[in-house]
Amino acid sequence: MPVIKSAQKRVRQEAKRRARNKEFESNVKQLTKQVETAVENKDVKKLNDLLPKLQSMFDRAVKKNQVPANTVQRRMSRLTKLSKEAGANPYGTKKAATKKTTTKKPPAKKSTAKKKPATKKTAAKKKPATKKK
């Protein structure tokens, strides 16, 4: 156990951080395993609930600099790909809709009125420089 006050504080801070990081990692592992089992069982409803929760958790961790952003992107990309293969639509993205046939309207007629030229702004007058003595 350290004797110096600042070293004692450092030990307390490290313990808090270690506990926070461990809790985060265990939660991520649990959710990831749940997602993987849902993919295996093709449980679309569960996948649609779990992936946004996991994404939210990862986003908060990135914001706190707990996890690198690229790591999160890689993991979420893989899990989302698996879930889409299982038939889930986790983020509510719509599939490409078919185009509706509409009658085209003729282009609007251009007005023949001339626009007024832009007015020039006058520059503010500068005061003459005074000599300092």
Which one is the CATH code of 5-85: 2.102.10.10, 3.40.190.10, 1.20.140.160, 1.20.58.110? 1.20.58.110
DSSP string, 98-130: PPPP-PPPPPPPPP-PPPPPPPPPPPPPPPPPP
pTM for the complete prediction?
0.60
Q: Summarize pLDDT for 59-107 with one digit per residue, the tens.
A: 999 998 889 999 999 999 999 998 888 887 877 765 555 666 667 777 7
Hey, where are the domains in the chain? 5-85
Q: Which residue has the higher pLDDT, 2 or 105?
A: 2
- Percent of the chain topping pLDDT 90: 44
**pLDDT above 60: residue 114:** yes
